[in-house]
Amino acid sequence: MNICNNPNTRLLMRLIVDVLLLSSVFTVALVILPQMLRTRHRGFFCGDESISYPFKQDTILRRIHVTILAIAVPAATILIIEMLRVTFPAPKSATSTAKYGHVPKPPQRYVFVGLRIPTFVSECYNLMGVYLFGLALVLIACSCTKHFTGRLAPYFMDVCQPLLPNNVTACTDPSHFGRFIEFYTCSSLTATPKLLDSMRHSFPSVHSAATAYAMIFLAIYMQARLKTGWIKLWRCLLQFGGVVVALLVALERVGSYRHHWSDVAMGAGIGCLLAFFMTIYVSPLFRQVPIKVRRIRDDSSNIYGYYTVMPKPTYFV
């Protein structure tokens, strides 16, 4: 017996491949690219106010907050909605029954070593797999862009305290005003290597990109899943709340002088673009499955045949 014909083996192999794929893309995004890529060394103009803001040690938004917004909140939202869809199934559509001859079947249930996997578990697995893969792509896109552009952060002058090759502090002499400084070294004794590295990685904002990706992904997900009439207003409220959260994160990064406004705008654009791509073209949210309908092929002989019918896509209700 061929081992590949065993459903349990195929399912286990799929799980292993999915885990390896996600682990690989996150390793590339978080470990390999930051160590392999070299940051572009950019100069600056003396008197440039956009890079002369003070560095704030304490900010409202920390990395743990972004992690919660980008991973914990989407996972909890998808789990709750999928459980609600199983607990309170949508009413059967008489229109679809009359047109296609039957009511569409519920999502496939998987069986592993004799145990039936609940529908919402398999749905959550598929959706979270797509979501996490897209999140890794967001991190890869931001990491590559940061290293290739090397844009200086708004707190660059305060943290770096640039020193010219002749051991003169840059921009202290009035004759330096408006002069472009290309060759310099940082003389700060208190800045950590991590901080000196991050001051050259302002464009784009990863915080804004990850949050925008998470919130837009959830907004489109809720648009596809929450279709019952009485819940549409709640759906709209949740979608609006997610967009507001993404906007507040972007404003906080600008207000704390961690990024320029164009940095957060570009980060939000990357997140939104990948969220639309992953939900519409990769996820199973809007996938249309052909339905085979049994109809009479020849009225005289009563011969029946099966015809493939594509249901009309319903992206937004």
Catalytic residues: 207, 259
CA distances from 3 to 7, 9, 14, 115, 250 (A): 9, 7, 14, 19, 51
Q: What are phi and psi of 44, to 5 degrees?
A: -155, 165
Q: Sort 290 into a burial class: Cβ within 10 Å, 0-12 / 13-18 / 19+.
A: exposed
SS3 content of the chain, % helix, strand, coil (to 5): 55, 10, 35
In angstroms, the CA 196 to CA 219 distance is 37
CA-wise closest residue to 184 among 311, 45, 3: 45
CB atoms closer than 10 angstroms to residue 105? 8
Rounded CA-CA distance 292/305 in Å is 10
Cα angle for residues 186, 189, 194 (degrees, 5° grid):
70
Both tokens of residue 44?
A: 């600056």
Instruction: Give the closest residue to 125 by CA, choosing from 269, 11, 258, 238.
Output: 11
Q: Of 283, 267, 258, 276, give the one whose Cα is nearest residue 139.
A: 267
Beta bridge partners of 298: 303
H or E stretch covering 313: none
Angstrom distance (rounded) from CA 111 to CA 264 = 45
Residue 54 buriedness (CB in 10 A; 0-12 / 13-18 / 19+): exposed
